[in-house]
Amino acid sequence: MVNNLLTIDLMELETEKNLTKKYDYTLPEGSFNLGVPNVDLVEPIVVSVVVSKEEQTYLVEGYMRTQLKLPCDRCLSLDKLELDESFKKKVLVTDEQVDLKEEDAEGFYRISVARLQLQELLQEVIEFAIPSKFLCQKDCLGLCNNCGTNLNESQCDCDKESIDPRLAVLKKFYNEE
């Protein structure tokens, strides 16, 4: 699902005298597909983008702010994550006239037509901004291994001392000494 409001026609920069243009967007929660499982938008995404024409490329610099709701990796409770991210990408419109060496083209965001889809770029920014291990709090206790109780909310009555049954004989030996 591509949002047409998030499409920037790069040819507009070619026709204008000023080779820089600013775009501001506020995207409601339901209008943007994050593309990340188990992650939901809590607040609208506020985006500010400046596109500048360079020699054969376009420089896209921007800032996005939103709030996400995602599960804690230890206790699975949903918690909010504030995202305030800036981004900077060089965009290369690929056609026959662009003649760059292969190593020069690294790091470019390549598109085949002169229409930049900001949704794809924002999805990438959001994916990289989400931590690989998200915790609801620094000292999250997680879930009990036996009964699944959220140890942040209450203690369980499970035996904290779990012994591998194959090693139970050694415990008996240790107690005799």
The CA distance from 154 to 142, in Å, is 11
pTM of the model: 0.73
Tokens of 47: 């985006």
Name residue 78's amino acid.
L
Query: Highest mean pLDDT: which of 19-23, 52-56, 63-67?
Result: 63-67
Q: pLDDT band at residue 97, thresholds of 50, 70 and 90? A: very low
pLDDT at 103: 35
Per residue in 100-126, pLDDT (tens digit) is 444 345 567 667 777 788 888 888 899
DSSP class per residue in 50-94:
EEEE-SSEEEEEEEEEEEEEEE-TTT--EEEEEEEEEEEEEEEE-
pLDDT at 2: 45
Burial pattern 46-72, b for ≥16 Cβ within 10 A else e, equals ebebebebeeebbebebebebbbebeb
pLDDT at 66: 94
Identify the DSSP state of 114: S
Residue among 15, 79, 16, 10 at smallest CA distance from 51:
10
